[in-house]
Amino acid sequence: FSFGGIGATPDDYTRQAAADALEVPIVRHQAAVAEIEAQFGEGAYPKRVIMADFPQGAGLIPNPVNRVAGFSAGLENKKQSNQKHNHYFVPGFPAMAHPMMEWVLDTHYSHLFHQTEYLEQSIIIEDGIESQLIDLMNKTLADYPDIKVFSLPKLKPNRQVELGAKGAPYLVKKAMQDIKAGVSKIGFAWIDGA
């Protein structure tokens, strides 16, 4: 993913840099023009339409916020047809970039989602001291080597530690029972977290 630099101002170099890297020219993408015209009407010209100039062969990334598309480009543009577009260019504004990234991931990479079952659980230990939890964390890792254990200390507004595990659901549930018992044995009070 690349964020920003795809606008119409003179400091927006990303489209040209991508075209240069792919050794293709910049061309006006007609579907991107149609989106810009639909959003801005006559106000699309003469400047906003510049945002429809992409590296030749680029695909569109829809922008649900203002209909000014991002683009995808990659090895396919270099005549390696067995490769998909593998670089994705979106605006630098998080409000626009976020839904556009979701679209890319959902559209092109959903086959990678949820390949294994996964669970993350944690507890919040008020007035917790992370250094006093290290032995418990090491024991949990030794007992459950196929999960990850984490601790996230926080000092403000009150001192606390989030302590948890992530991995296969059945292992995480068992590990969290041991973690809760271990924290109580140390003498800390806790509440369920995430």
Question: Which pair of structure tokens corresponds to residue 100?
Answer: 């556009």
pLDDT at 6 over 50: yes
Distance CA 145, CA 115 (A): 20
Asked whether residue 95 falls in the same domain as residue 148, the answer is no
Question: Which pair of structure tokens corresponds to residue 28?
Answer: 């006006």
End position of a domain, from candidates 80, 112, 144:
112
The amino acid present at 42, given as its one-letter code, is: E
| Residues contacting 129, CB < 8 A, separation 6+ | 159, 161
**Interior angle at CA 70, CA 10 and CA 112, nearest 5:** 140
Q: What is the mean pLDDT of residues 104-108?
A: 91
The amino acid present at 139, given as its one-letter code, is: K
Asked whether residue 38 falls in the same domain as residue 89, the answer is yes
Asked whether residue 106 falls in the same domain as residue 171, the answer is no
Asked whether residue 9 falls in the same domain as residue 105, the answer is yes
pLDDT tens-digit profile of 131-164? 999 999 999 999 999 999 999 998 888 899 999 9
End position of a domain, from candidates 60, 81, 112:
112
- SS3 label, residue 158: coil
Q: State the pTM of this model.
A: 0.60
Angle at which helix 134-143 crosses helix 169-186, to 10 degrees, equals 150
Q: Given the structure tokens 């006006």, which residue do they identify?
A: 28
Distance CA 182, CA 163 (A): 11
Q: Which domain holds residue 17?
A: 2-112
